[in-house]
Amino acid sequence: MTAALSPIDKAKYIAARRAVEFVEDGMRVGLGTGSTAAWMVRCLGELIRDEGMKITGVATSARTAELAREVGVPVKTLDEVRWLDLTIDGADEYDPNLNLIKGGGGALLHEKIVATASDQMVVIADLSKQVDTLGAFPLPVEVIPFGWQTTKALIEEMLSNVDVLGRSASLRLNGAEPYCSDQGNFILDLHLRRIANPAQLSLVLNQIPGVVENGLFLDICDVLVIGNADGTVEVRDINNGTVEHERIDITDTENLFVDSAE
C-alpha cells in the first residue's frame, strides 16, 4: 500500500503518524485543514477505531469536519468545548523560529482562532516547506467582500513602507468567481517573496479596514514534526529547545487511505 504513495504524500503521512502520538485519551483536539492535516485526521480515526481512544475534535473548516465524521472522529464546535488541549495542523511555510505562513487551503481565520485557543500547537510538514525567511509562499489575507478592491489598494500602498521584496496582491479565485472562505470572505494573496519583519507586517495588515486576519502565525507553534519519505521524522520542540530524530515503521499492509491524497 505504501508503494502507491508519492514521496511527498508518504512524508506527509509519516509526519501525521508521529504527530498523533501527542494525542491522549479524553483530549479536545483542533483539527487543521489541508492535505497534510487530512492524513492526521485519518490517523486519529484509526486510533479511535483500533485502540478505542476517546477524543473530541474541533474542525477548522467544513471539509475537515466532513472528513472527521467520515472516519469516526467526533466533532464539536469551539463554542461547545471552549478550550482545546492540542491543535494539529499543517503549514505552507516555516522558518527556523517556527513562525509560519498558513492559509493556502483558505481556512486561515478558523485555523488561527483554534490554534490560539489551544494549550499546544503541533505543526506537521515536510522539508519542502522549510525556508530561511518567510515570504516565498504567497501570504493569504482574509478580507470582507465589501470594498475589497479598496482594501487591496490600501494593502499595496502599505507594502511600500515595509521591508518586503514584492508588493502585489491578487484576489484568490475559484474558477471564474472569487474564492469564499467558510465565513463568506474573500482572500487576497500577497506576493512578497521575502518578509524581513513578520511581526511588523502582521500588525499593520490587521489595522487596515476590511482586513479580517492574515496568514502569519507567529509565536503560536510549539512543536514542529517534519516527515520524510524514507520513514524518518524530525521533532523540533521550541519550548524545550530540543530536536529529536526518529523512524516511523510502517508496512505495506497498513490502511493508509491511499485514495485520499490531496
Catalytic residues, by residue number, are 111
Q: Is residue 34 marked as binding?
A: yes
Q: Is residue 105 marked as binding?
A: yes
Give the integer Cα–Cα distance in Å for 53 and 46: 9
Q: Are 188 and 213 in contact (CB under 8 A)?
A: no
Q: Is residue 91 marked as binding?
A: yes
Q: Is residue 135 marked as binding?
A: no
Q: Is residue 64 marked as binding?
A: no
Give the integer Cα–Cα distance in Å for 179 and 175: 8
Alpha helices in 137-206 (DSSP H): 148-159, 198-205
Nearest Cα neighbor of 225 from 249, 243, 251 is 243
Q: Is residue 163 marked as binding?
A: no
Q: Is residue 112 marked as binding?
A: no
* DSSP bridge partners of 232: 247
Angle formed at CA 79 by CA 75 and CA 82, multiple of 5 degrees: 95
Q: Is residue 129 marked as binding?
A: yes
Q: Is residue 12 marked as binding?
A: no
Which cell numbers in the block locate residue 209? 479596514
Give the integer Cα–Cα distance in Å for 182 and 184: 5
Q: Is residue 166 marked as binding?
A: no
Q: Is residue 92 marked as binding?
A: yes
Helix (H, G, I), strand (E, B) or coil at 257: coil
Which cell numbers in the block locate residue 78? 469551539
* Binding-site residue ranges for substrate: 33-36, 89-92, 102-105, 129
**Binding-site residues:** 33-36, 89-92, 102-105, 129
